[in-house]
Amino acid sequence: MKRPLIAGNWKMNKDLASARKLAADMVGLLAGVEQVEIAVCPAFVHLQAVAEQIKDSNIALGAQDCYWQGDGAFTGEISAAMLADIGCEYVIIGHSERRHVMGEGDELINWKVCKVLSDGLRPILCVGETLDERERDITEPVVTRHVTAGLLNLSAEEVRRVTIAYEPVWAIGTGKTATPEQANDVHALIRGILAEKFGSDVAAEIRIQYGGSVKPDNVKGLMAQPQIDGALVGGASLKANDFEKIVKYHA
Ligand code: 13P
């Protein structure tokens, strides 16, 4: 049975002491939660300290990015194998901030997804349209391209280990959330693409998270949608109490 995945993307926030404390607080608040899979994705330099805090808990560790090659002369980069070595299970790939601030394109994102999988980790592939793209009514082709290009050359077996995060760029950090119906429509589109490419059984197994201003007061409506299998949470994952309320959305 597929459990929803609720992951906190801490982005470029916190110092070492506060990252450690946030993780420790979450371990206490979220102990015993079983219906939902939980992950936190701190900055690279805090991964190890957070790994120590969440050891033996029900919280998994994720990173926010990685490079697409293995060991070598790639100054400043971090490999998927290094992340696996310090206990990461998930890696966010193709986040909109990487696409739009750092200029990452579909091809690079696909290489990263492939490398994450071949090094035994689970990618969270982010897709989603900008405000301009939504207003021009091209959400469907943009999301289709992100999904298709992001999963290029993967087998159905590999795709089973991928989570897709639909994050409309206009809803990230803006306080504007897609309505549950708007999000569900795009999730249904993504599910359809997955079914066409990898078969309906695989498509049904893959988790599609929603991300973009998910808060304690809107999570329930989003999670009630049939196509929404979790949330990728930015700002609200920086406060242990808010993240707890999001994870316990059914309470
Ligand atoms: P916010 O929840 O702050 O809008 O961020 C969403 C996000 O980008 C998660 O990856």
DSSP-derived secondary structure letter, 77: -
95 is catalytic: yes
| Catalytic residue (choose from 97, 129, 133, 167) | 167
Atom from ligand 1 closest to the CA of residue 171: 4
pLDDT digits (tens, 9 = 90+) for 148-187: 999 999 999 999 999 999 999 999 989 888 899 999 999 9
Atom from ligand 1 closest to the CA of residue 214: 2
Task: Enumerate residues 6+ apart whose C-beta is below 8 A from 71.
Answer: 79, 81
- Per-residue pLDDT, 22: 98
pLDDT digits (tens, 9 = 90+) for 104-143: 999 999 999 999 999 999 999 999 999 999 999 999 999 9
Q: How far is the CA of 216 from the centre of ligand 1 (A)?
A: 13
Residues 97 and 128 sit within 8 Å (Cβ to Cβ): no
Per DSSP (E only), the strands in the chain are 5-9, 37-41, 59-63, 90-93, 122-127, 163-166, 207-211, 230-233
- Per-residue pLDDT, 234: 98
Q: Where are the domains of the chain?
A: 5-248
Q: Does ligand 1 lie within 6 Å of residue 233's CB atom?
A: yes
* Assigned fold of 5-248: TIM Barrel (3.20.20)
Residue 1 has pLDDT above 80, yes or no: no
pLDDT digits (tens, 9 = 90+) for 7-53: 999 999 999 999 999 999 999 999 999 999 999 999 999 999 999 99
Task: Enumerate residues 6+ apart whose C-beta is below 8 A from 102.
Answer: none
Nearest CA, atom 7, ligand 1: 234
Q: Residue type for 135, please?
A: E
Task: Enumerate residues 6+ apart whose C-beta is below 8 A from 99.
Answer: 105, 109, 126
Q: Which of 213, 211, 215, 217 is nearest to 175 (CA)?
A: 213
